Amino acid sequence: MKEYVYADNAATTRLSNKAFESMLPYLQNEYGNASQLYSFARSPKKALKEARQVIATCIGAQPSEIYFTSCGTESDNWVINGAVQQHLPIVTSSIEHHAILRPCESAKLSGCSVSLLPVTKEGIVLLSSVKEVVHSSCGLLSVMYANNEIGTIQPIKELATIAHENGWLVHTDAVQAMGHTRINVRELGVDMLSASAHKFNGPKGIGFLYIKEGINWPALIKGGAQENGLRAGTENVASIMGMATALEENVTSVSENEVYLSHLEEILISKLIDSGVLFYRNGAGNHIRGNISLSFPDQSGEAIMHRLDLKGICVSTGSACDSQNTQVSHVLKAIGLDETLAKGTIRISLGKYNTEQDVIRIVQELTRILK
């Protein structure tokens, strides 16, 4: 079997051993429906309560503010659709994930006011831009915590302050950031936050939405009383346990992981410079560690990706959620990247299971391809 170097952790991550082990009891032994009243349901019901508490503690929230969903995309759609149902104007950024942008397109067709904020060449939303558009009596500001393609971290706390001063609600899509940097919803001042387990070494098909206590938000899925009547559907106890375990594990070691990934980044960039390969790095200094967007002039990012794949190295040309679209991404267009650079862009996203040898191998193969 080919020995792979997996360097696409912004697309998905390996399930941690602890998360896997925490899921097992609820797949074959304690498989009762947590919504039932009989004794066989007590163990999964207790597990749900404990998982909700763990996640809440990890982000500085109350357990009653955590709502389980199937993924980050569902959480984002819930937020945007809720704004539409309440006829709230929506302001978001031009580099959001399509889980925000596509629902916003639908919102516009429904007659909802939607404004897209520009960003700097580093992918940062300027506070002055928000002040210009957030001025009506009430609305929703939704800005991602960290960008999935270039890793840039936004000034969410400052943006939230401006929005709240004008009576607006604030949502942040923290799918790329959760478990990879310290997040406290109280300190950030956000009213809602989306997350997805498979981005922080949890299982696929499970996520959560934080809704601040006191925020009256419409239900997305109706048909049952689960999640306080706001998100119907039988609870996926095994995956919820895996998500809580993975998040707690990552949050506990977040500082250590950030230092380690910064170290791997430095090795990759320095060795790539030493190789003589011409490249440009996208994004800002304040970014999710391990997320490295590189542009190579007059090259094809797709061709580089495929040639690396032949050598057993997994990278991306951008967002895995839109990988079938071979056009220059909306993120690279929004930051004003020259087309000759944009077409030659790949994303290397390192995770805690990557090694120095992985990074060296990536540089070696890139050098062979590009020189």
* pLDDT tens per residue across span 179-233: 999 999 999 999 999 999 999 999 999 999 999 999 999 999 999 999 999 999 9
- Show the DSSP H helices in the chain as ranges: 17-23, 25-28, 42-59, 72-85, 98-109, 127-133, 156-165, 185-188, 237-252, 254-275, 301-310, 330-334, 339-342, 356-370
Give the per-residue pLDDT at 326. Answer: 61
Give the per-residue pLDDT at 40. Answer: 94
Active site residues: 321
- Rounded CA-CA distance 123/335 in Å is 6
CB within 8 Å of 128: residues ≥ 6 apart: none
Give 5-14+254-370's CATH code, choosing from 3.90.1150.10, 1.10.3720.10, 3.50.50.60, 3.60.10.10.
Answer: 3.90.1150.10
Give the per-residue pLDDT at 284. Answer: 95
pTM score, whole prediction? 0.96
Mean pLDDT per 10-residue interval, the chain, length 371 residues: 88 98 97 94 96 98 98 98 96 98 96 96 97 89 98 98 97 98 98 98 98 96 94 97 98 98 98 97 97 97 97 84 68 96 97 98 98 87
Strands 140-142 and 169-173: parallel
Does 5-14+254-370 match 17-252 in CATH topology?
A: no
- What percent of the chain is helix, strand and coil (3-state, nearest 5)? 45, 15, 40
Task: Count Cβ atoms below 10 Å from residue 23 Cβ, excluding itself.
Answer: 22
Phi and psi at residue 170, to the nearest 5°: -130, 130
- Rounded CA-CA distance 13/204 in Å is 9
- Rounded CA-CA distance 149/293 in Å is 7
Give the per-residue pLDDT at 136. Answer: 73
Give the per-residue pLDDT at 212. Answer: 98
Domain ranges (residues) in the chain: 5-14+254-370, 17-252
> How many H-runs (helices) and E-runs (strands) does the chain carry?
14, 12
Q: Is the CB of residue 163 less than 8 Å from the CB of residue 155?
A: no
CB within 8 Å of 85: residues ≥ 6 apart: 218
Q: For the chain, how big is the Rg over CA atoms in Å?
A: 21
Give the per-residue pLDDT at 61. Answer: 98
The residue to which tokens 């051993």 are assigned: 17
Position 241, amino acid? M
- Taking alpha carbons only, the member of 312, 329, 357, 274 closest to residue 148 is 329
Q: Is 243 helix (H, G, I), strand (E, B) or coil?
A: helix
Give the per-residue pLDDT at 45. Answer: 96
Give 17-252's CATH code, choosing from 3.90.1150.10, 3.40.640.10, 3.30.499.10, 3.30.465.10.
Answer: 3.40.640.10
Q: Is the CB of residue 230 less than 8 Å from the CB of residue 217?
A: yes
